[in-house]
Structure formats: structure tokens, C-alpha cells
């Protein structure tokens, strides 16, 4: 194939089976190589194995050997993504805009978290993530990764979405309700772009807490052409039983991520998290908090992106050590019943108060399965349930009614 002299900078190498979505949970992983140049001229020689992008033989890919010049390989990185990116790989590689950078970040975060969870799951069972790559007719798409009925994780979802199109008046009104002031055309629609990663991990053991994280980037184009952008996100922990050491570790890890950028961010976003993840009709918080922020458009787009990147990269070190410590501890039926009651509270918050759920359901072409991925497989409601005074359950409830300064408890 002497005519094959142009090697795409984005090279997809098939890692597993040929299907992107399988009932058994196995999935294709893609190795994506980025080069410092948009195209790389080369001669085909033996010794370097790549996948000839765009060339196929039957159902399998054709492998080619190529010698790539050292100067084009000087700035390469090779993340393993869970599926082929939503945006064309050549477009992502050539672009330096925030849309492309955010998509690459969330692809990597998704893959890193899924790999970390599969490694934990492999210690007790053999469940893998089911990978579902989907497209949205209105524009964009996403990759939903879900692990269900595992031995360590009862249900774990790690989703990314890259969507664009026009926001309907209902979604615009929801944004205006929190202080956004947009100039819209006569029809009330608003062109938008959104990219984000969202995850909720429900473990099987009541001793292991649930974690939620979400990091996103948003752009809208007003009727006069003005472009507004902002970031949002956060990470929070929801234990069924209180282990102070675990909660301090979790908050300390998030604080370290914030302090790299500004020491005032953690206390500000910790309080925002406590206030946001409150269940008003219960008079309690959903969990023990973490950090939460929205509408972040300062001090600059670059600095805001770096902050979001630091927070997203803190998820694994904040959570995995807790899982390793707690997942083998024994528990009984009473602990399981309490865990299901707490998951009932989780459902109440997500369906009644969560802005992300409301926004998703109001967006045209909404993918319900991905939006409701956050809900647990099982939950429980009991009439007038009240834990016994002095019990571990009562101690947990007291913390949920009165949020603490966890970092200050060290």
C-alpha cells in the first residue's frame, strides 16, 4: 500500500470485540493518538503497528506498519476512550477551542473512572461496563457506560454527552430563573452547546458510600451574536453509615484540588454543595457534601478550565481508597434495609429538586435512559421510619441534618 502516505493524527486501535454495545458488558476501547501536526507524512515500513484509519477489510480493521518521524511523535498522548468520540477525531485533533478541549477531557475522565471501577469489581466478580454510544438527531450525542448487578457495585453509571442545537423556551426560562439574562429571537429559542461527564456510583455494600460527580461546559449564542460560556460541576459523597475518617479523606482531597487554584474556592463551594443537595421536605441533606459550583466564568476561560480539570481528576483519589477499605466489611439485613431507605431519599432529591434532571427532561431529544441513570436499582420507603436513639443510623441522620466542617475536624 505505497499510496498510503497520509496518516491521520487520530488513530483508532480496536481493543476488544467489534461491537460498541454488548449484552454481556464487554466493550470496544479505543486508543487515540494525537500528534502535534494535523497530518503526518510517512513511508510504510515494518516495525510500527498502527490501524489504518478509514481502511477496513471485511469486519476487521487492516493493520499497517509505519515509521513516524520523531519530531511528529514528540508531543503525543494516548488515552484509552470507552468508544469512538462523538466529534470527528480529525476535528478534535486540529482544534484548540474550548469545545474540543472539554470533549477530550470528559472522554479521558470517563475512561479513567470506568477502568478504576472495573479493577475494583474484578477483585470480587467479572462484571464489566456496558458501553452505549448514541447520537442525537438534533445534534451531538453521548457515550453511556453502565455496570449493573456487580459484586462491588450494584449500579454504576459514567456518562458523557456532547449536545448542541436550540434550547426551547422552557429550558431558557429555567436558566433565567437562576439569574441568566439572554437575548433571544422572537421564537424564544437559543442556540447552545453543552459537554459534560456525569456519574453516580451505587455500591452493593452499605459500608461503601455512593458518590456523584458532574463536570460540564456550556455555551449559548444570543440573538445579537454574543457568546456566553460557563462551567459547572462538583463531587459529593452519600454514605449510609458514617466513617469520619473516610469523609475527612474525601473532603481533604477535594480541598487540595481547589487550593491549587485559589484557597477561597473550597469553603465557598463546600457550602454551596451543602445548600444545593438539601431535601427541603425532609429537612436533611442528601449526603455529607463535597463541592458544587455553577455559572463559573472567571477569572478567565483558561483558568476556569484548569480548575474544572483539577476537580475532575480528584474523583478517583477521593473515592477509590474508601471503596478498598470498606468493600469487604460484613453487614446484615438491617444495614441493607437502612441503605435502601437512604437511597429512597436519593431518588426524592434527584426527581424533585435536581436541576440537571429537570434541564435534561426539558431538552429536545432528551435521552431518558441516560438522564435517569443516576437512580439506584432498588430503594425503599417506610411509613414514619425513625431510627433508634443512639444507633449508627441515628448518628448518620444527625450529620445529615447538621452539616459539618469536615476539614476542620482533622
User: Rounded to an integer, what distance in angstroms lies between the CA atom of residue 16 and that of residue 23?
Assistant: 14
Where on the phi/psi map is residue 241: left (φ > 0), alpha (ψ -120 to 50), or beta?
Answer: beta
Please state, in angstroms and rounded to a whole number, the distance separating the CA atoms of residues 128 and 147: 6
Contacts of 287 (CB under 8 A, 6+ apart): 209, 210, 236, 237, 238, 239, 277, 400
- Single out the residue of 244, 240, 218 nearest to residue 231, CA to CA: 218
pTM of the prediction?
0.80
Task: Encode the chain (410 residues) as per-residue pLDDT tens digits.
Answer: 444 333 333 333 334 333 444 444 444 466 554 433 333 333 333 333 333 334 344 434 333 333 333 333 333 434 589 999 999 888 888 888 999 999 999 999 999 999 999 999 999 888 999 999 999 888 999 999 999 999 999 999 999 999 998 877 766 666 655 666 666 666 567 888 999 999 999 999 999 999 999 999 999 888 777 888 999 999 999 999 999 999 999 999 999 999 999 999 999 999 999 999 999 999 999 999 999 999 999 999 999 999 999 999 999 999 999 999 999 999 999 999 999 999 999 999 999 999 888 877 877 777 888 889 899 999 999 999 999 999 999 999 999 999 999 997 44
Output the CA torsion 316→321→322→328 (10° steps).
Answer: 130
pLDDT at 184: 62
* Cα-based angle 267, 280, 311 (whole degrees, multiple of 5): 30
Q: Is the dihedral of CA 331, 378, 111, 192 positive or negative?
A: negative
Nearest residue to 111 (alpha-carbon basis) of 119, 122, 99: 119
Checking phi first, is residue 25 left (phi over 0); if not, alpha (psi -120 to 50) or beta? left
Whether residue 299 has a cis bond before it, omega within 30° of 0: yes
Which among 212, 249, 251, 261 is annotated as catalytic? 212
Length of the chain: 410
Could you give the angle at which helices 301-313 and 315-326 cross, rounded to 10 degrees?
10
pLDDT of residue 232: 95
Q: How far apart are CA 85 and CA 87, in angstroms?
A: 5
CB 84 within 8 A of CB 32: no
Nearest to 271 by CA among 256, 291, 301: 291
Is the CB of residue 11 less than 8 Å from the CB of residue 92?
A: no
Three-class SS of residue 276? Answer: helix
Is 261 a residue of the active site? no
Helices (H), 24-73: 70-73
What pLDDT does residue 172 have? Answer: 64
Residue 3: CB atoms within 10 Å: 6
Helix ranges, 98-243 (H) = 98-121, 169-177
Nearest to 289 by CA among 326, 340, 341, 237: 237
pLDDT at 262: 96
Who contacts 185 (Cβ-Cβ below 8 Å, separation ≥6)?
Answer: 223
Strand partners, 196: 161, 216
Query: What is the reported pLDDT for 379?
Result: 97
Amino acid at each position: 500500500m505505497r499510496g498510503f502516505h497520509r496518516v491521520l493524527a487520530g488513530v483508532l486501535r480496536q481493543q476488544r470485540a467489534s461491537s460498541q454495545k454488548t449484552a454481556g458488558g464487554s466493550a470496544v476501547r479505543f486508543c487515540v493518538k494525537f500528534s502535534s501536526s494535523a497530518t503526518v507524512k510517512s513511508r510504510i515500513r515494518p516495525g510500527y503497528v498502527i490501524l489504518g484509519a478509514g481502511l477496513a477489510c471485511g469486519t476487521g480493521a487492516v493493520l499497517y506498519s509505519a515509521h513516524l518521524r520523531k519530531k511528529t511523535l514528540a508531543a503525543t498522548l494516548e488515552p484509552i476512550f470507552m468508544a469512538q468520540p462523538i466529534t470527528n477525531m480529525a476535528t478534535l485533533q486540529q482544534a484548540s477551542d474550548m469545545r474540543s478541549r472539554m470533549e477530550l477531557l470528559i472522554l479521558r475522565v470517563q475512561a479513567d473512572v470506568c477502568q478504576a471501577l472495573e479493577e475494583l469489581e474484578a477483585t470480587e466478580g467479572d462484571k464489566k461496563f456496558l458501553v452505549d454510544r448514541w447520537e442525537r438527531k438534533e445534534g451531538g450525542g453521548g457515550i453511556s457506560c453502565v455496570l449493573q448487578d456487580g459484586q462491588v457495585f450494584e449500579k454504576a453509571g459514567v456518562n458523557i454527552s456532547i449536545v448542541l442545537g436550540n434550547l426551547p423556551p422552557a429550558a431558557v426560562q429555567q436558566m433565567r430563573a437562576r439569574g441568566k439574562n439572554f437575548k433571544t429571537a422572537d421564537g424564544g429559542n437559543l442556540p447552545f452547546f453543552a459537554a459534560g461527564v456525569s456519574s453516580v456510583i451505587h455500591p452493593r455494600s452499605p459500608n461503601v458510600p455512593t458518590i456523584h460527580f458532574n463536570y460540564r461546559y456550556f455555551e449559548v449564542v444570543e440573538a445579537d451574536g454574543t457568546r456566553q460560556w460557563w462551567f459547572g460541576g462538583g463531587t459529593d459523597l452519600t454514605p449510609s453509615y458514617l466513617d469520619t475518617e473516610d469523609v475527612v479523606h474525601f473532603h481533604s482531597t477535594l480541598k487540595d484540588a481547589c487550593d491549587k487554584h485559589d484557597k477561597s474556592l473550597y469553603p465557598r463551594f463546600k457550602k454551596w454543595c451543602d445548600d444545593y443537595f438539601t431535601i427541603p421536605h425532609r429537612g436533611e441533606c442528601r449526603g455529607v457534601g463535597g463541592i458544587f459550583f455553577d455559572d463559573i466564568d472567571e477569572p478567565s476561560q483558561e483558568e476556569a478550565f484548569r480548575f474544572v480539570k483539577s476537580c475532575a481528576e480528584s474523583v478517583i483519589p477521593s473515592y477509590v481508597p474508601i471503596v478498598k477499605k470498606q468493600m469487604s466489611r460484613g453487614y446484615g439485613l438491617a444495614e441493607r434495609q437502612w441503605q435502601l431507605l437512604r437511597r429512597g431519599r436519593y431518588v426524592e432529591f434527584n426527581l424533585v429538586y435536581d436541576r440537571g434532571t429537570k434541564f435534561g427532561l426539558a431538552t429536545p431529544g432528551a435521552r431518558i435512559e441516560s438522564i435517569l441513570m443516576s437512580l439506584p436499582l432498588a430503594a425503599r420507603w417506610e411509613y414514619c421510619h425513625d431510627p433508634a436513639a443512639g444507633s449508627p443510623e441515628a448518628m448518620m441522620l444527625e450529620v445529615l441534618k447538621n452539616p459539618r466542617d469536615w476539614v476542620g475536624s482533622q
